[in-house]
Amino acid sequence: MIEDINNLNDLKKIKENIDTEVTKYVVGWDHVLQSLLIGLFAGGHILLEGVPGTAKTYLAKIFSDCLSLSFRRIQSTPDLMPSDITGSHIFNTKNLEFDFIPGPIFANLVLVDEINRAPPKSQSALLECMQESQVTVDGKTSKLDEPFMIIATKNPIEFEGTFPLPVAQLDRFMSRLIMNYPPHKAWVEILNNKNERGETVNIDPIVKPKALISGRNLVRNVEVKKDALEFIVDLVSQTRIMNQISLGASPTASVALLNASKGYAAVVEGRDNVTVEDVKAIAFDVLNHRMIVKSDQYSSTSEEDTSDLSSIKTIINESIES
C-alpha cells in the first residue's frame, strides 16, 4: 500500500494500480474511472448519470474499495430527511443531555445513490457539505474529515419518482459523466467476468488517506500558464453570450475547470503545468451540466433542456474554436 505521494511518478503509480484493480470487475468505463481519479485528487465531487443497470453504483463502490478511506452510502428515497444525511441530536436519558449522532455524510467517501430520488429539502442538505466540507446541525458546525468526496448517481429525469436537481446543486459537482450502454466488446467481457467470478469482489486497498492528501497538495500546486488561464475565462464567458444558451456557465464553473485541468495535467498527462489542450480535454465533463440550452435552437421537447448533450457538446466545441 502506498503511504505517501511525493512526486508525479507516485501519482502515476496510484493511477495505474487503481486502473488495474477496477478493470478486473468493471470494464468499458475507462474515461469515467479517469474522471473519478481527477475528482479525487483535484478535490471535486462527481455526478454519474445514466439509465439503471449501467454499473454506476457498482463502479463507485469498486472505486472506493481501492482506497483505505471511510465509506458510507446514502440511498436516496422520496422520504429521505436532511437529518438522515447530516445526523441529529438524540436525548440521552443517562446524562439528560442531547448527544449528536453523526449521519452518513461523516465519511471520507460518500456515495449518494440515485440522488434525484431525494426530495429538494434533502438535496439541499448536501450543499454546505459539498461547498465547504462542513455540516451545520442545530446551529453547531462540524468540519468533515479530509479527504472528502461525494460520488452521486442519477437516473434520467424522465424516470418516475425523481426530482430535478436545482442549478445550485448541479454547480457543486466538478464533473457530470454520462454512462450509456457499454460497447459490444466490453459487454461480452462483463458477462465473461460475471460467469467466472460471480459476485465476489476482493480488492486490497492501494493507497492510504495521508497519501491522498499529499496527492491533492501536489495537484493544487500544478502551474497554470497564462494562456491556459485566459482560455478558461474566454471559454466560460463565451457560454454566456451565445444565442443558443439561456443560462451559461458561472464563475464557479471556471474554478472547477481550473482545478479539473490541474488534475488532468497531473493525473493523466503526468505534467506539473496546465496547457490549453488540458483545458480542452476536460471542458465537456466540467461544463455540460452548467448550461441550459434554448429549445427553439436545438430541441422541441421543452422550453429549456439541460439533458440535450449533443447540443451542449456542439456549443462547447464552438466556444473552444471561437
Distances (CA, A) of 235 to 7, 49, 258, 285: 31, 24, 12, 14
Q: Are residues 82 and 185 in the same domain?
A: yes
CATH of residue 166's domain is 3.40.50.300
Structural domain contains residue 203: no
Our count of domains for the chain comes to 2
**Beta bridge partner(s), residue 304:** 294
Is 206 a domain residue? no
248-255 long-range contacts, CB within 8 A, separation 24+: 248/290, 248/291, 249/287, 249/290, 249/291, 250/171, 250/290, 252/171, 253/171, 253/286, 253/287, 253/290
Q: What ranges in 43-81 are assigned the alpha helix state H?
A: 56-65
159 inside domain: yes
Are 29 and 93 found together in one domain? yes
Angstrom distance (rounded) from CA 259 to CA 317:
20
Residue 262 placed within a domain: yes
The 10s digit of each residue's pLDDT in 238-252 is 888 877 778 888 889
Same domain, 174 and 255: no
- What pLDDT shows up at residue 297? 43
Q: Are residues 49 and 181 in the same domain?
A: yes
Residues 46 and 174 in one domain: yes
Q: Bridge-partner residues for 2, per DSSP?
A: 207
Of 163, 197, 231, the last residue of a domain is 197
Which residues of the chain fall below pLDDT 50?
Answer: 296-307
Could you tell me which residues are beta bridge partners of residue 100?
A: 89
Torsion angles phi and psi, residue 122, rounded to 5: -75, -35
Whether residue 239 is contained in a domain is answered as: yes
pLDDT at 300 (0 to 100): 35
* C-alpha cell read off for 191: 458477462
State how beta strands 304-305 and 292-294 pair.
antiparallel
| 56 grid coordinates | 454506476
Distance (Å, whole) CA 67 – CA 124: 28
Instruction: Pull the grid cell for residue 259.
Output: 482545478
> Is residue 286 classed exposed, middle or buried when 0-12, 13-18 and 19+ CB atoms within 10 A define those classes?
buried
Domain limit, last residue, from 143, 163, 197: 197
Check whether residue 80 and residue 163 sit in a common domain. Answer: yes
- Considering 197, 214, 239, which residue would you say is the last residue of a domain? 197
H/E element holding 294? strand 292-294
Q: Note whether residue 268 is domain-resident.
A: yes
* Residue 55 to residue 125: CA distance in whole angstroms: 26
- Are 145 and 20 members of one domain? yes
Residue range 74-129, pLDDT digits in tens: 999 999 999 999 999 898 888 888 888 999 999 999 999 999 999 999 999 999 99
pLDDT at 8: 92
Across 63-78, b (16+ Cβ under 10 Å) vs e yields bbbbbbbebbbbebee
Is there a single domain that holds both residue 157 and residue 16?
Answer: yes
CB 177 within 8 A of CB 48: yes
Q: Does 226 map to a domain?
A: yes
Q: Same domain for 156 and 226? A: no
pLDDT at 304: 39
Residue 289 lies in a domain: yes
Which pLDDT belongs to residue 48? 95
Q: In this structure, are 181 and 286 located in the same domain?
A: no
Domain holding 306: CATH number?
1.10.8.80
Q: What is the pLDDT of residue 283?
A: 94
- Domain span at residue 246 reads 222-321
Beta strands in 22-94 (DSSP E): 46-49, 71-75, 87-92
- For residues 238 and 181, membership in a common domain is answered with no
29 and 140 housed in the same domain: yes
- What CA–CA distance (Å, rounded) separates 27 from 182? 8
